[in-house]
């Protein structure tokens, strides 16, 4: 296939680009630097809604993974606006351009997040038809997905992958957790009862590849392991993999004081999401169990 990829510099995007190239697909990159826009690199500017329709001619599928790091800093009013714009503007631009083409790409796959369901879902099992949350993350993800509506109305197959916490040594939250855990200072956050929906980086790439090839997948798709765990279970599993004790806990007031709303939602939030549509479509999970995934990601074999 000829695939257009937006967000190739991110954790998932860089891994996906390498995978697609190795498996024989032709990958075109959307870049925001005119100087580097050559030899398969196409210039665009989502903030100004700039992208030539001809750039997508001959493309069979578009994958949009654009978005600033959600945990990159405290959520001030300006930061929240940046998080929204970096996600919504790229999808809106691609969707509008594709909808205006006579022969548009057949598929648009957009990143979304498990934050769609809101941060305070307790132990409730969350499926794709569950309602959006009413907090910042819920509203952000709902608007993010709605930005692709022009492509939906054009008849293009649109998939919104609601990713859980991506586990990788190269980025995301896991590297930040390793130092205190390796020092024997790791532990659960708050009372540890909040649920974490997770997947390995390899799994994220596998799900994206599956979504590209599976025509029956459409609309919202939960993208995570079928076995979410509580924060306490996650902490114990990481401790076992690193062969370190898990003796400490971080009080909720300290999280809220240090990180504000971001810490409250990302660390204290609870989402027990189930990838029912992926399972129904026959996707075979590489890493269904947390400890196996952590051992794979960290290169730690069992004794």
Supply 252's token pair.
């909720």
Q: Per-10-residue mean pLDDT for the chain, 303 residues long?
A: 94 96 94 77 93 91 96 92 97 97 96 96 97 97 98 98 96 88 91 97 98 97 98 96 92 87 91 98 95 95 78
Give me the count of residues in the chain: 303
Q: What gap in Å lies between CA 148 and CA 58, rounded to an integer?
A: 20
Output the pTM of the full model. 0.95
73 with 79: CB under 8 angstroms? Answer: yes
Q: Where are the domains of the chain?
A: 2-298
57 Cβ contact list (under 8 Å, min separation 6):
101, 103
Q: What is the DSSP string of 158-198?
A: EEEEEE-EEE-SSSSSHHHHHHHHHTT--EEETTS-SEE-E
pLDDT of residue 40: 76
Cα distance from N-terminal residue to C-terminal residue, the chain: 42
Nearest to 247, CA basis, from 175, 183, 301, 195: 183
157 with 108: CB under 8 angstroms? Answer: yes
pLDDT of residue 165: 96
77 with 93: CB under 8 angstroms? Answer: no
Element (H, E) at 28: strand 26-31
CATH topology assigned to domain 2-298: Rossmann fold (3.40.50)
128 with 277: CB under 8 angstroms? Answer: yes
Beta-strand runs (E) in 107-256: 107-113, 120-126, 157-163, 165-167, 187-189, 195-196, 198-200, 219-223, 229-230, 248-250
Supply 268's token pair.
């204290």
pLDDT of residue 72: 85
With b for 16 or more beta-carbon neighbours within 10 A and e for fewer, the 279-298 pattern comes to: eeeebebbbeebbbbbbbbe
87 with 69: CB under 8 angstroms? Answer: no
Q: What gap in Å lies between CA 107 and CA 1, rounded to an integer?
A: 11
Q: What gap in Å lies between CA 109 and CA 126, rounded to an integer?
A: 21
Supply 147's token pair.
């930005």
pLDDT of residue 137: 96
pLDDT of residue 99: 96
Supply 191's token pair.
């009372």
């Amino acid at each position: 296939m000829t695939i257009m990829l937006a967000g190739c510099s991110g954790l998932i995007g860089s891994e996906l680009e390498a995978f697609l190239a190795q498996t024989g697909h032709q990958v075109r990159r959307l870049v925001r630097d005119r100087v580097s826009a050559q030899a398969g690199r196409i210039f665009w500017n989502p903030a100004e809604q700039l992208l030539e329709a001809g750039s997508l001619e001959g493309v069979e599928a578009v994958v949009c993974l654009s978005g600033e790091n959600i945990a990159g800093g405290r959520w001030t009013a300006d930061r929240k606006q940046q998080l929204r714009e970096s996600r919504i503007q790229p999808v809106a631009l691609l969707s509008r351009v594709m909808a205006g083409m006579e022969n548009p790409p057949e598929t648009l796959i957009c990143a979304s997040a498990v934050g769609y369901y809101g941060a305070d879902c307790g132990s409730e099992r969350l499926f794709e038809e569950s309602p959006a949350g009413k907090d910042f993350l819920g509203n952000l993800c709902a608007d993010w997905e709605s930005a692709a509506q022009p492509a939906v109305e054009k008849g293009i197959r649109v998939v919104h992958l609601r990713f859980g916490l991506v586990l990788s040594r190269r980025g995301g939250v896991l590297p930040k957790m390793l130092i205190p855990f390796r020092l024997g200072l790791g532990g659960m956050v708050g009372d540890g009862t909040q649920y974490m929906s997770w997947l390995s980086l390899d799994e994220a790439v596998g799900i994206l590849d599956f979504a590209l090839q599976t025509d029956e997948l459409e609309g919202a798709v939960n993208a995570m392991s079928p076995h979410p765990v509580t924060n306490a279970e996650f902490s114990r599993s990481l401790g076992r993999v690193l062969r370190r004790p898990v003796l400490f806990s971080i009080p909720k007031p300290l999280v809220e004081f240090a990180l504000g709303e971001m810490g409250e939602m990302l660390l204290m939030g609870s989402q027990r999401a189930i990838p029912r549509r992926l399972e129904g479509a026959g996707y075979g999970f590489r890493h269904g169990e947390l400890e196996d995934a952590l051992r794979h990601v960290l290169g730690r074999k069992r004794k």
